[in-house]
A and B are shown apart, each in its own frame.
Chain A
Amino acid sequence: GAVVSQHPSRVICKSGTSVKIECRSLDFQATTMFWYRQFPKQSLMLMATSNEGSKATYEQGVEKDKFLINHASLTLSTLTVTSAHPEDSSFYICSAYRGGYNEQFFGPGTRLTVL
């Protein structure tokens, strides 16, 4: 099956620091990856679409300078939360789209806590 990993699974940081989250497709190439954010007891909200070799496409209301996305290779996309603040505390989940399959393959998620 298609496996997507995320690292770290959990991170706690101080306000004002930057945090990088990695999303990797382990056994397939993903030209497109997606980043979602989920607040407690809420649904997943798409933040951005990450395309290999080009700039990410951000959803309305998502600050591109705060949430930096880099899709450096066909198996790796990174999300950097810059100058994190407590309101950025959330569960961040990536998914990878595999051509020829209907479904997206989700990573296990990263729980970010900003103190």
Chain B
Amino acid sequence: AQKITQTQPGMFVQEKEAVTLDCTYDTSDQSYGLFWYKQPSSGEMIFLIYQGSYDEQNATEGRYSLNFQKARKSANLVISASQLGDSAMYFCAFPTGTASKLTFGTGTRLQVTL
């Protein structure tokens, strides 16, 4: 069974600075992917970025990028130039099975300060 771990329950970052949110996973699959979602206080889940295990380059989406290290089984989310609106919970998630059901990490609460 896949296991996904987020070791940082909470993080603070100053506005305009970059921040890295950690995520490690454990799988015996050769082909897999990993998602990051943002959940603001309203509760909606906002898709941020996806990385497939066979993607040669780290994924980037605007200010979001993945530091994907297969050997370490880590897929850390990097948010550059943090904004106050980035304050939220962040979850990494691992799809399993043919139906792609998601297993979520425990989440990291990010607070962006002035």
Contact = CB atoms under 8 A, between A and B. Distances in A.
A94 B41 CA distance: 17
B102 A43 contact: no
Central interface residue in A34, A43, A102, by most chain B CB within 10 Å: A43
Given A43-B91, A102-B33, A102-B52, A93 B45 contact: yes
Interface stretch (A12-20, A64-72, A74-82, A104-112): A104-112
A103 interface: yes
Interface residues of B, number: 21
Given A102-B50, A104-B100, A44 B43 contact: no
B68 interface: no
A108 B50 contact: no
A108 B43 contact: yes
A89 interface: no
- Main secondary structure on A side of the interface with B: strand
A28 interface: no
B101 A46 contact: yes
A34 B100 CA distance: 10
Interface string B97-114: 001111111110000000
Given A95-B45, A102-B52, A106-B44, A43 B101 contact: no
A34 B43 contact: no
B100 A91 contact: no
18 contacts: A32-B99, A32-B100, A38-B43, A43-B91, A43-B106, A43-B107, A44-B91, A49-B99, A49-B101, A51-B99, A91-B43, A93-B45, A95-B102, A97-B99, A103-B47, A103-B50, A104-B100, A109-B44
